[in-house]
Amino acid sequence: MMIHQAPMARQSRQALITRQRFAIIGAVVVAAILPFILRLVVLPDPAFFNTSQISLFANVMAIVIATWIRLSVGTFPGTRAGTLIAPSIAAAHGLVLTMLLMTRLPYDRLGILTGFVAHLVWMVGLHVTVHRRIRRRFAVVPCGTIEHLEEIDGVDWKWMKHAALDETVECDAVVADFSADLPPEWESFLADAALAGRMVYQVKQLSESLTGRVEVEHLSENSFGSLLPARGYFHLKSIIDFSAVLLLVPVLALPMVLLGLAIRIDSRGPALFRQRRLGLAGRPITVYKFRTMRVHEAGEDTRSAAMTGHGDDRITRIGGFLRRSRIDELPQMINILKGEMSWIGPRPEAMVLSNWYVGEIPFYRYRHVVRPGISGWAQVNQGHVANVDEVHEKLQYDFFYIKYFSPWLDLLILFRTIKTMLTGFGSR
């Protein structure tokens, strides 16, 4: 009897932690009630009670608004769901704070700030726990192009044998290929599943959400919705990039000069490394980096010289640190000021490698539809790549970024870039 209870109890806990109700109640407790109680304990003065009470209700309202935003915009689990957490919370708390300022109601600033931070930490922690440590279980309708689902890790796939709701009882959702010619009994089943409150996902969109990659056999409206990303944000992003550089240059100028001197002292050659790469619309640009390797010697194969392997003996002593921390990319602020690059976007590839990849990988040139970036979705998920198979996977990450091109995805990449800089993930 005990043998069966443990798995059932574990399934019950997993089902509880994946529910929206659990996330909302937990957020209210962690980000609204606890800050209110702690504030009263630290400052028991009755004069602070009214302001703390207003902050309590403000935090609860922000939690409700953030939940509404996520449920309205994002319907898929996995990576795409994660991109909405920080933006929805920031937008909700910002909206509530604006309402407080406009109404001139007294509020506890520390309580509002604590609520925002606690809300963000709770939701991110919950998402990481559910996404990485709890295996979801999906019922798969056995029709159409579904075989690739078995290659997705961290998920249990139940291949259905009969068009019956009973087979989905222990599953989180149902997955089907809507583009396939489904038999009548399976079409009726999907309708019944939706009417019964079961989540029913299109296999292509679910795969993208779980992997963070867009697999493309042929470019079509069905794959991207539009072959051009949102033009409004495209131009706004350029203004944000340019403004950020202007703000950072006074702060980083002296440290970068000192770093350049250290590079010159450490090894023979210039402080900056210049390389011709492909930018927006496939136009050649000169990309600037701090030099991290010994100077290229005459006679070396240009393709091999453009690629970096594990434990590459050309990397200098100070270069290893610069590459792990990604500080070597900072001079590309020059490229941002010239309008050639962005802070976030697909990494610009060396021309010699780009010409090679174009001949090996279909649609490789499509990644040039947006400005290349200092950091990107592929870099924070995959890291450095070299061979064609790795580049093909990297291209799928780039396509995911282009398809879901938005300030929210850029914000997520920014947060994950900070983590990458601290851990050295994916460097060579």
The string of pLDDT tens digits covering residues 199-245 is: 888 888 888 888 888 876 555 544 555 556 777 788 889 999 999 99
The string of pLDDT tens digits covering residues 254-279 is: 999 999 999 999 988 999 999 999 99
- Give dist(CA 76, CA 321) in Å, integer: 38
User: Mean pLDDT over residues 29-35, rounded?
Assistant: 93
Instruction: Say if residues 321 and 246 touch (Cβ distance below 8 Å).
Output: no
Mean pLDDT taken over the chain: 83
- Give dist(CA 148, CA 151) in Å, integer: 6
pLDDT score of 7: 41
The CA-atom distances, in angstroms, between 16 and each of 19, 23, 378 are: 6, 9, 33
pLDDT score of 9: 45
Q: Which residues, other chains included, contact 107 with Cβ-Cβ below 8 Å and sequence gap of 6+? A: 51, 54, 55, 58, 100
Instruction: Say if residues 93 and 115 touch (Cβ distance below 8 Å).
Output: yes
Residue 44 — pLDDT band, cuts 50, 70, 90?
Answer: low
Q: Which residues, other chains included, contact 127 with Cβ-Cβ below 8 Å and sequence gap of 6+? A: 81, 82, 85
The string of pLDDT tens digits covering residues 107-117 is: 888 889 999 99
What residue has token string 């610069």?
322
- For 106, the 3-state DSSP assignment is coil
Residue 195 — pLDDT band, cuts 50, 70, 90?
Answer: confident
Torsion of CA 370, 371, 375, 380, to 10 degrees: 10
CATH architecture of 136-211: 3-Layer(aba) Sandwich (3.40)
Beta bridge partners of 156: 137
Of the candidates 55, 12, 62, the one whose C-alpha atom is nearest the C-alpha of residue 36 is 55
- Each domain of the chain, given as residue ranges in start order, spans 2-132, 136-211, 231-295+308-423
| Joined tokens for residue 65 | 């608004």
Q: Which residues, other chains included, contact 104 with Cβ-Cβ below 8 Å and sequence gap of 6+? A: none
